[in-house]
């Protein structure tokens, strides 16, 4: 099954290695800037690949992609602002780690986890692409609905302090997700006289606003330095990070596989993958209470799973011609312009392109380890060393550029600022950003899954049974039940143990 060595040698051509290095560097830097996402990095850099051979172009784009997904962790850890939507869950434990002076450790951990996840995803792509693509097709609207519901149940576990406040935040997010022209049905909702809202609230703009603006306001409002400066310079803390990673090898493996599988599902992507991996890591942990307070396993879970979506997402893109993630949609378009037709034949007649690319992606992922460590170290040092008076305005400027750059649209900057101020006020009352963002992202997926599933079920004359009889749906429902009931069960056990003592 393992395709030949000649493709590996082709991928090792100096030009391809150069592209892999340049792609990873460019991707990491762009991904690290809040609001500049992996999709955008690829869209911006695509014209440079048109003169290249298709496999080289793919290697460059794949390297940019994987670098950007990793780079998103920097701002998540150091600024509590996910650099890309895939890094939302990295803020949960990454930022608390940075707060207590372990930012450098968190970044090195993120690098190791990203490389591992990326390698697992690429290996799946190399060995099992065609059968896994068929698995992706088994997911219909109903399955997406339940998957989104599964994601929403995470709100319960993410709510620090008050679960009720978490639910209120989630509900606000769900409502925000309904603004604009309905995906399915075309109704116009909550737009009022603001035509700018017809397209809905943009997720990236909301992300930057809700996460980043409160951090900036707090930085200005308090005299403390942004992150604690550790006394001695500890270097990369690579040995420490490696031993933590080795201890968490099961978490690494599980999260990487989750990331790959979710990445294969068209329309799910890195943000959902990392949330699912995070919740699973938390569920099986000996002490789930440490999650959300700077638990290294949280960072490992999210960063390995989101990089695994890169390889996973290429599976439906290359095998079926259906983009696995938004970034893959852009890459697919670039391939079409180059005259490459994706689909089952690509793995037969044009296997040289595909396998050279996959080896190139593996090489780029391995190169990410040294490159990521160096850039990460530099990013950490500069964020810690830059005085607040410089840091705040620079990041503020970035938030504006980032939210504008999503669609080159000024109204999304207004959305970002409005939601940012709202998020800060809500934060004062104990409502955190994550439930709101989760509601916003998952609400739209749940809604279109529900409406499409209902329409299909209705055409078959069984709208309710459609949701409860399909095997994969039942599996997801079982996971939802497990996730909701397991904490109650363990609490009960613990209470009994205590009583026996």
Partner 1 sequence: MKRFYKSVAAGLIGATAIAAGVAFAAYPEKTISYIIAFGPGGESDISARLQEPYFKKLTGQTVAIQYKAGAGGAAAWSQINSAPGDGYTIIGTNLPHIVLQPLQKDVGYKTADLANVYWFHYTPDAIIVAADSPYKSLEDLVAAAKKAPGTLTFSGSGTNSANHLAQQRFDKLAGIKSTYIPAKGTGASNTALLGKHVAGAYSYSTVGTQLGAQVRCLAIALEKRHSALPDCPTFKEKGYALVSGAYRGIAVPNTTPKALQQTISDLIGKINKEPAFIKSMEEKGFAMIDVGLADMPAFMAERQKEYEAIARDMGIMKK
Binding residues for partner 1, per CB under 8 A?
43, 46-47, 50, 136-141, 180-186, 188, 195-196, 198-199, 202, 266-267, 316, 320-323, 326, 329-334, 336-337, 339, 341-345, 407-409, 411, 448, 452, 455-456, 458-461
- Residue 223: other Cβ atoms inside 10 A: 5
> Alpha-carbon distance 195 to 192, whole Å?
8
CB of 57 to partner 1, least distance (A): 13
CB 121 within 8 A of CB 311: yes
Q: Which is nearer to partner 1, 230 or 350 (CB)?
A: 350
CB of 451 to partner 1, least distance (A): 8
Dihedral angle sign, alpha carbons of residues 65, 70, 73, 74: negative
Complex with partner 1: residue 428 or 460, whichever CB lies closer:
460
Q: Looking at beta carbons only, is 161 or 192 nearer to partner 1?
A: 192
By three-state DSSP, how is residue 244 classified? Answer: helix
Smaller CB separation from partner 1, 173 or 180: 180
> From residue 415, how far is each of 199, 207, 449 by CA, in Å?
12, 10, 26
Nearer to partner 1, 122 or 334 (CB): 334
Nearest by Cα to 88 from 138, 147, 158, 25: 158
Of 94 and 326, the one with the shorter C-beta distance to partner 1 is: 326
Residue 233 DSSP code:
-
Beta bridge partners of 181: 188
Q: How far apart are CA 188 and CA 178, in angstroms?
A: 9
In whole angstroms, how close is the CB of 448 to partner 1 at the nearest point? 6
CA 403 to chain CA centroid, Å, is 17
- Contact between 270 and 312 under an 8 Å Cβ cutoff? The reply is no
For the CB of residue 413, give the shortest distance to partner 1 in the complex, in Å.
13
Q: In the complex, what is the shortest distance from the CB of residue 43 to partner 1, in angstroms, rounded to a whole number?
A: 5
Max Cα-Cα span within the chain: 73
Name the burial class of residue 449, with classes exposed (0-12), middle (13-18) and buried (19+) by CB atoms within 10 angstroms of its CB: buried
**Tokens, residue 317:** 């893109």
- Alpha-carbon distance of 170 to 435, in angstroms, equals 5
Cβ(183)–Cβ(448) below 8 Å: yes
- Closest distance to partner 1 from the beta carbon of 359 (Å): 25
CB of 420 to partner 1, least distance (A): 20
Contact 203, 440 (CB under 8 A): yes
Given the complex with partner 1, which of 41 and 113 has the nearer CB atom?
Answer: 41
**Contact by Cβ (8 Å): 420, 209:** yes
Parallel, antiparallel, or unpaired: how do β-strands 188-189 and 180-181 relate? antiparallel
Distances (CA, A) of 389 to 86, 385, 394, 489: 29, 11, 9, 50
Q: Which is nearer to partner 1, 151 or 266 (CB)?
A: 266
User: Shortest distance, CB of residue 179 to partner 1, whole angstroms?
Assistant: 12
Rounded distance between C-alpha atoms, residue 3 and residue 12, angstroms: 15
Give me the least distance between CB of 442 and partner 1, in Å please. 14
428 burial (CB, 10 Å; 0-12 / 13-18 / 19+) is exposed
Is residue 15 classed as helix, strand or coil in its secondary structure? helix
CB of 422 to partner 1, least distance (A): 21
Helix (H) or strand (E) holding 395: helix 388-405
Q: How far is the CB of 180 from partner 1 (least distance, A)?
A: 7
Provide, for the chain, the percentages of residues in helix, strand and coil under a 3-state DSSP scheme, each rounded to the nearest 5: 75, 0, 20
User: Helix, strand or coil for residue 225?
Assistant: coil
The residue (of 144 and 278) whose beta carbon lies closer to partner 1 is 144
Q: How far is the CB of 34 from partner 1 (least distance, A)?
A: 20
Nearer to partner 1, 410 or 484 (CB): 410
| Rg (the chain; Cα; Å) | 22
Choice between 50 and 250, CB closer to partner 1: 50
Q: Which is nearer to partner 1, 43 or 206 (CB)?
A: 43
């Amino acid at each position: 099954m393992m395709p030949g060595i000649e493709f590996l040698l082709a991928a090792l051509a100096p030009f391809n290695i150069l592209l892999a290095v340049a792609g990873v560097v460019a991707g990491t830097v762009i991904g690290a800037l809040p609001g500049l996402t992996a999709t955008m990095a690829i869209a911006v850099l695509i014209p440079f690949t048109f003169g290249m051979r298709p496999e080289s172009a793919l290697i460059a784009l794949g390297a940019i992609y994987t670098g950007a997904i990793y780079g998103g962790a920097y701002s998540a850890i150091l600024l509590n602002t996910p650099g890309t939507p895939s890094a939302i869950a990295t803020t949960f434990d990454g930022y608390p780690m940075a707060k207590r002076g372990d930012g450098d450790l968190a970044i090195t951990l993120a690098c190791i986890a990203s490389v591992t996840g990326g390698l697992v995803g690429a290996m799946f792509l190399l060995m099992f692409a065609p059968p896994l693509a068929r698995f992706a097709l088994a997911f219909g609207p109903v399955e997406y609905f339940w998957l989104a519901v599964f994601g929403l149940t995470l709100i319960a576990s993410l709510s620090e302090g008050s679960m009720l406040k978490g639910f209120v935040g989630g509900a606000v997010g769900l409502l925000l997700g309904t603004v604009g022209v309905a995906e399915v049905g075309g109704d116009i909702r909550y737009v009022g006289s603001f035509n700018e809202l017809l397209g809905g609230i943009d997720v990236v703009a909301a992300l930057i606003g809700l996460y980043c603006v409160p951090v900036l306001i707090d930085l200005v409002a308090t005299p403390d330095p942004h992150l604690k400066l550790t006394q001695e310079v500890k270097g990369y803390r690579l040995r420490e990070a490696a031993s933590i990673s080795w201890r968490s090898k099961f978490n690494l493996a599980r999260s990487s596989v989750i990331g790959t599988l979710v990445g294969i599902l068209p329309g799910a992507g890195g943000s959902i993958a990392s949330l699912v991996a995070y919740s699973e890591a938390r569920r099986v942990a000996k002490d789930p209470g440490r999650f959300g307070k700077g638990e290294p396993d949280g960072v490992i879970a999210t960063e390995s799973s989101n990089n695994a979506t890169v390889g996973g997402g290429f599976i439906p893109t290359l095998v079926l011609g259906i983009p696995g993630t938004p970034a893959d949609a852009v890459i697919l378009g670039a391939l079409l312009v180059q005259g490459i037709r994706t689909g089952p034949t690509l793995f037969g007649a044009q296997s040289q392109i595909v396998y050279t690319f996959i080896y190139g992606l593996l090489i780029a992922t391995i190169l990410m380890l040294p490159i990521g460590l160096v850039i990460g170290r530099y990013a950490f040092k500069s964020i810690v060393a830059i005085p607040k008076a410089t840091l705040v305005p620079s990041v503020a400027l970035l938030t504006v550029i980032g939210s504008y750059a999503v669609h080159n649209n000024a109204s999304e900057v207004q959305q970002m600022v409005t939601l940012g101020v709202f998020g800060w006020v809500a934060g004062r009352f104990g409502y955190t950003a994550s439930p709101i963002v989760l509601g916003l992202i998952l609400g739209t997926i749940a809604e279109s899954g529900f409406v499409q599933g209902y329409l299909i079920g209705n055409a078959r004359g069984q709208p309710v049974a459609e949701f409860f009889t399909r095997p994969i749906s039942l599996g997801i429902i079982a996971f939802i039940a497990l996730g909701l009931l397991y904490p109650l069960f363990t609490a009960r056990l613990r209470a009994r143990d205590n009583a026996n003592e």
